[in-house]
Structure 1
Amino acid sequence: MLGVYIFDDKGNIICFEKPLSLTIDMSLSVPCDSATVVLPYKEYADGAEIKIYNESDLIFVGVIDEEISIFNTTGNYKKYVARSKMALLLDNQAYPTELNNVTRTYLGNKYLKDFSIDFDKGEEVYPGKITVDNGMTVYDIFAEYCDKVFSSLPRMTPKGKLIFHSNIDSEITLSNLSYTSLTENKKRCEKISKVSLMTNSRFYDYIIENKETKDTSICRERFLDASVGKNIYPENGENLIENSNLNSYEVQVTCPYNLTYCLGYKCKVESIAEKLQVAEIEYSYNSKGEETKLILRRCK
């Protein structure tokens, strides 16, 4: 059974209801998970935070962005639109400063305490200086640290804990009996056939070709300036091609149960040989029941 708790600004529970409908959206390419919940209308104090449980399992915690009262002939409702607690890092700019050789424990203690966000501690050192310019958000600082140290991005777990890397080793397997529909999409429009880099010779003479588009009619070229001072390197071109190949194949699977826990998991699908990863999740619940749509993409 699903249960929704709404809290006021002081942390007091002002509402506990079974939802009439809800959706939860998650994506590896979007920092914030989001949720939309519809409840029967009652006069409540203004909501500030939301927690969604599946039985005793907390599957979403976040801050309420919008509270909408709906009155019509079919009934009266309260609609809450929320984002995960990552929203607090995205919405707040950081004080301009310089951070030297920082660890994730240091960053967590410095920036997350005021938001009451738990995090996984560690002493991995960012080699060098993070310059916090005017206008940078708290999220930008964590993203720069995670990219440099873990080659990843920070994620907020469904239970509201910040993790500094989204490299997940877990795996799920979907047999033909475990889903109600499957759609396979080969997206030729995503593939880049060639990247040309301009080196110090001032010519675009460093060529990287996509092996997957060789002997095909796909022709989609990109140009990068890799001359001194541009912070562009051959590996940027290689990554551009690799990412285009990863995004060129997509599988959408719909399952009649809750799978909100598996974002980032490797996924084996019966009859499909590709190495896949759960890149997006859309969970929905209404009077007809529940379902989870998984978007699976190639993984490295």
Structure 2
Amino acid sequence: MKITAATITGGQMELPAPALLECTSAYDIPADGFYAVFPAQPLQGCCEFTALTVELEGKLVFDGLIDEQILSKNSKGMFLTLKARSKSAVLIDNEAIPQTFTRANLWDIYNAHCKQYGFRGLLCDRNPTLSAFTVAKGRSEWQALESFCRQTLGIMPYISDGYIVAKQRPAGQHIVLSNTLAGCIRFSSLQICNKRYGVISKVILKSESKLYDTAVFNPIGKQLDIRRKRYISPPKEWAGSPHAGADRLMRDSMLKKLLITVTLPSLTAVSVGDHVSIEDDAASYTDLTVYEVTYKADGTGVSTTLALVLPDYVC
């Protein structure tokens, strides 16, 4: 693993091996997280750090901005702690101006809410239009973009190589995990969790008559024998398609119903959206999607933890 930091004076420095590291990326969280503690002796005299990148097996797995830089000393020595988030954090940290667009397209939303923050551009196959789109008070720049994309394209945007991408994520690599078959990636632990408590079976919408009188059902709620309803007044962003908003709420509740957590005893380059098969005496799955990746390193060793979900509810 190679960790390189940028200094406030414009320089670059490769950092020593960290004493502690945790780096996480997730499907539905736009900003990846980074936390590491480094021995401070080799870094004494350095100026303030502003950004850093992490490469694993020649692959860029983190590219972000420093949130905190802490120098500390205790009985074990002097340490430098760095906390960072990927560059999309700037869209989370900034509030969007409340407004209502008339006949706004995707490029209008990008220009109004993203372009000013220095992204390289917008990558999209289509430029859909909504006759009216409202950004409510308190929404972040990212929430404005995400809401528009989910309404018009049915996907969640993401950031790659400095571009905002409003497309379906590419298929990614396919890896096979097994402790019994030759040539497969080994794992040290496996957990299969079936989360019934989060699934919503019915959403009752508040209509223009001000009554909660429009029901939208989860198509497999009855099959699962789950009864969990929500009364929703459609947010302004979904005013033009309240049923689609209700469907999205129920799909999101299904995303992590089946959550499989696998830990690999190594730092293995895996990306959100990659496909995973598990072939083992404990479980057998042929097509899971990587929902979250967490790299860890400390005095006891290194690991890569994958949170895996069924692909049905990954937009």
- The equivalences for 1:27-38 within 5 A come to 27-38=26-37
- CA drift at 1:240: 3.8
Question: What amino acid sits opposite 1:156 in the alignment?
Answer: I
Cα distance in structure 2, aligned partners of 1:193 and 1:107: 32
* Structure 1 residues 72-83: aligned runs within 5 Å: 72-83=74-85
Cα offset, 1:79, TM superposition = 0.6
CA distance in 2, matches of 1:257, 1:292: 6
Identity %: 22
Compute the displacement of 1:95 (Å). 6.0
* Distance change in 2, residues 1:24/1:107 (3 Å): same
Q: Which residue of 1 aligns with 2:254?
A: 245
**Equivalent residue number for residue 257 of structure 1:** 266
Counterpart residue number, 1:208: 217
Q: Which amino acid aligns with 1:20?
A: A
Match of 2:159 among 156, 166, 188: 156
Structure-to-structure mapping, 1:31-110, within 5 angstroms: 31-41=30-40, 42-43=43-44, 44-93=46-95, 101-104=104-107
Distance of 2:96 and 2:249 partners within structure 1: 30
- Whole-angstrom distance in 1 between the partners of 2:34 and 2:90: 15
The 1:203/1:274 distance shift into structure 2, 3 A limit, reads farther
Name the stretch that deviates more: 171-180 or 132-141: 132-141
Is contact 2:261-2:305 (8 Å) kept? yes
Structure 1 stretches lacking a partner, 5+ long: none
- Cα deviation for residue 29 of structure 1 reads 2.0
Q: Distance in 2 between matches of 1:72 and 1:149?
A: 54
* Pairing 1:266–2:306 present: no
> Partners in 2 of 1:236 and 1:57 — Cα distance?
37
Letter in 2 for 1:265: D
Bigger CA drift: 273-282 or 22-31? 273-282
The SS at the match of 2:271 is coil
Distance 2:68 2:144 in 1: 27
| 1:148-180 Cα shifts (integer Å, max 9, x gaps) | 4422222223x5443223533235233322211
**Match for 2:69: what amino acid?**
E
Q: Distance in 1 between matches of 2:117 and 2:309?
A: 33
Matches within 5 A, 1:120-135: 120-122=122-124, 124-128=126-130
Change (3 A) 1:209 1:197: same
- Structure 2 residue matching 1:280: 3-state secondary structure: strand
Tell me the TM-score normalized by structure 2.
Answer: 0.77
**CA separation in 2, counterparts of 1:31 and 1:233?**
24
Q: Which runs of 5+ in 2 are unaligned?
A: 180-184
* Pair 1:298-2:306 in alignment: no
Counterpart in the other structure of 2:145: 142
Match of 1:282 in 2: 294
CA spacing shift, 1:48–1:223, aligned 2, 3 Å = same
Contact 1:93-1:138 within 8 A present in 2 as well: yes
Q: 1:224, 1:232 within 8 Å by CA — same for their partners in 2?
A: no
| Map of 1:18 onto structure 2 | 17
Match of 2:8 in 1: 9
In 2, the alpha carbon distance for the partners of 1:52 and 1:213 equals 46
SS in 2 for 1:223: strand
Aligned match of 1:220 = 228
Q: For 1:198 and 1:114, how far apart are their aligned partners in 2?
A: 36
Contact map agreement 2:202 2:215 (CA 8 A) in 1: no
Instruction: Judge conservation of contact 2:22–2:294 (CA < 8 Å) in 1.
Output: yes
3-state secondary structure, aligned to 2:284: coil
Query: How much does 1:48 deviate?
Result: 0.8
Contact 2:273 2:291 in 1 (8 A): yes
Q: Which is worse superposed, 199-208 or 4-13? A: 199-208
